[in-house]
């Protein structure tokens, strides 16, 4: 018996991929495009990307508030 391999489509958003990995309790996931592996996602890389996006948003809002 073999375990089902959890994969994410290459067009999947960062948030959706993170949710998939969290729901399946996995730290790494293959990114698939037309049944071919095109990359490997790690939960750390996804979290780092989300943090970077949030930091950018915070900076933009601070600049807007300052005028």
Domain ranges of the chain: 7-66
Q: Distance between CA 3 and CA 35 in Å, rounded? A: 18
| CATH H-level superfamily of 7-66 | CBS-domain (3.10.580.10)
Helix (H, G, I), strand (E, B) or coil at 7: strand
**What does DSSP say about strands 28-33 and 36-42: parallel, antiparallel, or unpaired?**
antiparallel
Taking the whole predicted model, whether its pTM rises above 0.85 is answered as no
**What does DSSP say about strands 7-9 and 28-33: parallel, antiparallel, or unpaired?**
parallel
Q: Distance between CA 35 and CA 47 in Å, rounded? A: 26
Q: Please write the tens of the pLDDT for every residue from 12-30.
A: 999 999 999 999 999 999 9
Say yes or no to pLDDT of 47 above 80: yes
């Amino acid at each position: 018996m073999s375990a089902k391999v959890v994969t994410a489509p290459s067009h999947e958003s960062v948030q959706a991929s993170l949710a998939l990995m969290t729901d399946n309790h996995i730290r790494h996931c293959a990114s698939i495009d037309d049944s071919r592996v095109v990359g490997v996602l790690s939960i750390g890389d996804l979290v780092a990307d989300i943090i970077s996006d949030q930091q950018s948003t915070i900076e933009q809002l601070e600049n807007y508030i300052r005028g």
